[in-house]
A and B are shown apart, each in its own frame.
Chain A
Amino acid sequence: MQQRGALRFALTRLLSAIPTLFLIIVLAFMMMRAAPGGPFDEERAIPPETAANIERAYHLDESLPRQFRRYFGGLLRGDLGPSYRYPGYSVAELIGGAMRYSLQLGALAMLSALILGVGAGVLAAVRKRSLLDRMVTGLAMTGISIPIFVIAPLFLLVFAVYLGWLPASWGDSESGLRYVLPVIALALPQVAYVTRMTRASMIEVMNSDFIRTARAQGLSTFTIVRRHALRPAMVPLLSYMGPAVAAVLTGSVVVEQIFGIPGLGQLFVRSALNRDYTLVLGIVIFYATLVIVFNLLVDIAYGFLDPRIRRQ
C-alpha cells in the first residue's frame, strides 16, 4: 500500500517535470540566440558568400521558430543534434565523454564529504562547546570561506610541483593518484557545509523530548545517536543534498580548469563562449534533468527518514 503510494508520487512528480523541462528548453534556446555573436564569428570576417554557405549548412538561415521546431523534433527522437563547434561530433557523445569524468569525481567527492562531514558534525554536536567542537567548527568555517580557486592552485604547487608526489594534470597518468587533488578540492567546501548542517541539526534533535526520554532510560550517547537521533537529524541535510549532488556531479568549472579535467563544467562554459548552441542546450537539458531527478529522490527519501511526512 505504502509502496504503491510512493510509486504514484514519483510518477506524478516526474510527469509534472515535463512542462518545467520544456520551459527550460525554450528559455535556454531563446537566451542562447539572444546572445550577440554566432558560433562562426571570429576576429577575421569572412566573405558574405562563405558566411551564407556556413549558415545554410547549419540551418542558421532559417527562421528561429523553424530552427526550434527542427531542434525539438530531434529531441523527441532522442537526438541532441550535432555540435556547431566540433564538426563530426554529436552533442550526445561530447556530453557522454565529459560526463564520465564529472560523475566519477563528483560521486567520490560527495561520498567523502558525507562520510567526513556527518562524522565530524555528530562528534561536534555530541561534545558541544568542547575543544573538539571548536576545532571542527573552526575548520568548517575555514573550508567554507576559502574559495576553491585559492586552494586548488596551492595544492598543485605544493604536491605536484614542489613535492612531485601527485600528477599536476589529469592527462598524463592513468593512475588513481590523479583523482586525489581534484576530489579533495571538490569535497572540501562540501565537507564544511555538511559538517555545519549536521552539527546544527544534531544539537537541535539532541535537545528534543524524545531524546531526553531515551536518556532517562539510561541509554548510552552512542546508542541514542545511532538509534534515535541520527535519522531525524539528517532531514535538513537531505534538502541540501538534492541540488548539491546535482551540482557536484555536473562538474566544477574551476576545479576542472585547474586540474585540466575534460569534464562537463568546462565543456559547458566553453560551449557557451563558443556559441555552440546545440551543445549548450544539451548540457542544460542534462543538468535540469539531473536536478529534477535528485530533488525527487530527496522527496522520496524524506519519507524514509521522517515518519511524519510518510503519514501525510
Chain B
Amino acid sequence: MLPEARLLNRGIGPEPETLDPQLARTTQSHIALRDLFEGLVSYSAEGVLVAAAASRWKISADGLRYKFWLRPEGRWSNGETVVARDFVYSFRRLVDPETAAFYAETLNSVVNAAEITAGNKPPEALGVEATSRFELEITLREPTPYFLSLLAQAATYPVREATVVEFGEQFARAGKLVSNGAYRLAKWEIGLAITLIRNEQYWNNKNTAIDVVRHHVTVEPSVELFRYRAGELDVTSTIPSEAFARIRDERPAELRVSAFLGTYYYGLNLNYPPLGDNPELRQALSMAIDREALTASVTGRGEQPAYSWIPPGVQNYESPVLSYATLSTEKRNAAAKRLYTEAGYNEANPLQIQLRYNTSETHKNIALAIQAMWRHTLGFEAELINEEFRVLVTNMRAMKITQIFRSSWNGDYNDAYAFLAMFESDNPSNMFGYSNEDYDLQLKRAAKQTNPARRRLYLEEAERVLLADLPVIPIYYHVSKHLVSPSVRGWQDNVLDYHYSQHLSFD
C-alpha cells in the first residue's frame, strides 16, 4: 500500500460471513463481493443494468434463450482471461447439491436447475453452455423477464475453477482468492475489516479511482457514527435512529436517505382462527394503524407510509393501493371500528391477540405505538411478545404459535415477482398460511407471459387480490440511510442500495 494511495473507508455493518460468491447469504457479504467480482451484467451508479463481464447479449423472441458475448479483454486478478467456461463452471457450482448454496434457487428458471439442486440430475445437465471461448448460451424453462438482473447477483458471479479445486473451501481467503472485479482481496481480519486493492488486471481499471477500499465491520450503528465523526469512516452502513434528527440538522449535506426496495410489515398467521376466518378483522387491524403518525414520530428516518405491499420504485409496475389510503384519520378509524364490530368484537368481548417482534429498540417502539393505536381505536389490548431473531423466524415458519408477527421483506431483484412469490400457496416463505387460487393463477399467467405490458397486468391483479385478502399488513417502505463524507464523489441514490466502490472517487 502506497502512503499516498487513495483509501476509502466504508462501514459495512455486521461481519460478512464469506467471500465465496456462491455461498454468500447476507447483505454484508454481497457488498464486499460487488467490489471483488463482476457478473455477466452489473449496475451503474444510478442502479441501471449495464454490460459487465459480457459486452453484449441477445434474447430470443420467446424469452427462453439468452446468448452472451464475453469481453475478450476480461481478466482474472491473476492475469488469466475470463472465458465462457468459467461461467458454466460457476453456475453449475451454484446449483450443485454438493455446494449446498443458500441462493441455489437464483437460477431456478434455467433448464434443469431445480432438478439438479434436488439431486435428480447431474450438474452437467444445467441449461448453460459455452459455445465458444467467449460465447455463452443459457436456456430457460420459462420466460423470466427479470432474468438479466439475476446475473448481476453475487450468486452468479464467476469463480476460477483451478483456485476452487486447489484450495477447496478455503479458496475465498486472502492470498488465495482470485476475482474478476475492480478489486482484489488483500486482507481479511475477522471482526475488523476486509481490505481490497485495485485489480490492475480488471478490463475497466482505468476508470477505477480509488486504490484501496477497507470495509470495516461496524456492528453497533452508534459506534459506527462515532467512527464517522472521528474521521475514520468515509461512508456508514446505516444511521442510528436516535441520532437521525440531530444529523439532519447538523450535517444535511452528508445525509443520504433514499427509497429502497423493502417493506416493513406485520404478518398475519391465517391458521389462527380469529385472523383466518375474519377478513373484516384483518382490514380493521390494518386501518386502525396511523402510518403517517408512525413514520413521522416513531421511526422518523424518512420512511414512507405503506398502503400497498410492493414498494414504489419497482420497474415496470404500479401498485394498487389499499382503499383507505386517502381517507382522513377520523374516517379511517370510524371505518375500522365498524369492521371490528362487524367481526363480532366489542368492549365486552375484545380481541385477544399476540404480537411478536424480534429484539430491537425500533421494533419495540413500533409495536408499542401500534398497540396503543389499536387500544385507542378498537379498544383491545394486544399482548406484545419479544423474541430473539432466530426464535421468531422459527416460530414464523412453524405457523403454530404465531398470530401477528413483525418482519421485513426486501426485493432481491427489481421486479414485482420478488415481492409476490412469497404468497403463492406452496412457497416456502409463505408464513401466513395464505392460499388463494385466483392469486396463484395470476402469478402462473404472469410467469408464462413474454409481453411485459401484459405480464404487468397479471402481477398488479395479483397484488389487488392480496390487498383484498390482506394476510399481511404493510406498515412502511424502507429507506436506505447513509452518511457519506463530503469529499466522496460519485455516490448516487438507488432503490437497490448498491454502491460499488469503483464508481466512487475523492475530490
B193–A86 CB distance below 8 A: no
A41–B390 CB distance below 8 A: yes
Residue A57, interface by CB 8 Å: yes
Partner among B9, B117, B190 whose Cβ is within 8 Å of the Cβ of A86: B190
Q: How far is the CA of A71 from the CA of B138 in the complex (A)?
A: 43
A171–B393 CB distance below 8 A: no
Interface size class of B (residues with CB under 8 A): 35 or more
Distance in angstroms from A99 CB to nearest chain B CB is 12
With A88-B173, A89-B190 given, is the CB distance from A156 to B226 under 8 Å? yes
Residue A35, interface by CB 8 Å: yes
Residue from B118, B171, B390 with most neighbouring chain A CB atoms (10 Å)? B390
Chain A residue with Cβ nearest B228: A168
Residue A7, interface by CB 8 Å: no
Q: How far is the CA of A132 from the CA of B458 in the complex (A)?
A: 82
Partner among A48, A98, A156 whose Cβ is within 8 Å of the Cβ of B191: A98
Q: How far is the CA of A43 from the CA of B429 in the complex (A)?
A: 8
A258–B220 CB distance below 8 A: yes
Q: How far is the CA of A267 from the CA of B14 in the complex (A)?
A: 11
**Residues of chain B lying within 8 A (CB to CB) of residue A263:** 191
**Residues of chain B lying within 8 A (CB to CB) of residue A44:** 412, 429
Interface residues of A in 1-55 (CB under 8 A from B): 35-38, 40-50, 53-54
Chain A residue with Cβ nearest B232: A172
Q: How far is the CA of A161 from the CA of B431 in the complex (A)?
A: 45
CB-CB contacts of B448-488 with A at 8 A, as 1s and 0s?
A: 00000000000000000000000000000000000000000
- Selected interface stretch from B49-57, B95-103, B318-326: B95-103
Residue from B98, B192, B391 with most neighbouring chain A CB atoms (10 Å)? B192
Chain A residue with Cβ nearest B173: A88
B101–A50 CB distance below 8 A: yes
B408–A54 CB distance below 8 A: no
Residue A81, interface by CB 8 Å: no
Chain B residue with Cβ nearest A276: B17
Q: How far is the CA of A168 from the CA of B233 in the complex (A)?
A: 10
Partner among B389, B409, B428 whose Cβ is within 8 Å of the Cβ of A47: B428
Residue from B14, B100, B407 with most neighbouring chain A CB atoms (10 Å)? B100
**Residues of chain B lying within 8 A (CB to CB) of residue A35:** 390-391
**Residues of chain A lying within 8 A (CB to CB) of residue B105:** 46-47, 50
**Residues of chain B lying within 8 A (CB to CB) of residue A53:** 97-101, 104, 117, 119
Residue B133, interface by CB 8 Å: no
Q: How far is the CA of A35 from the CA of B17 in the complex (A)?
A: 21
B428–A48 CB distance below 8 A: yes
Partner among A37, A46, A54, A160 whose Cβ is within 8 Å of the Cβ of B391: A37
Q: How far is the CA of A213 from the CA of B92 in the complex (A)?
A: 87
B193–A49 CB distance below 8 A: no
Chain A residue with Cβ nearest B25: A42
**Residues of chain A lying within 8 A (CB to CB) of residue B229:** 161, 168
6 nearest A-B residue pairs (beta carbon) = A262-B191, A37-B390, A168-B230, A57-B100, A45-B428, A45-B429
Can you show 9 pairs from A to B with CB atoms below 8 A apart? Answer: A42-B25, A42-B393, A53-B100, A54-B102, A86-B190, A97-B191, A164-B230, A260-B192, A273-B390
Given A53-B117, A57-B100, A87-B169, 9 new contacts (CB under 8 A): A36-B395, A46-B105, A49-B118, A53-B99, A88-B170, A157-B226, A169-B216, A169-B230, A171-B216
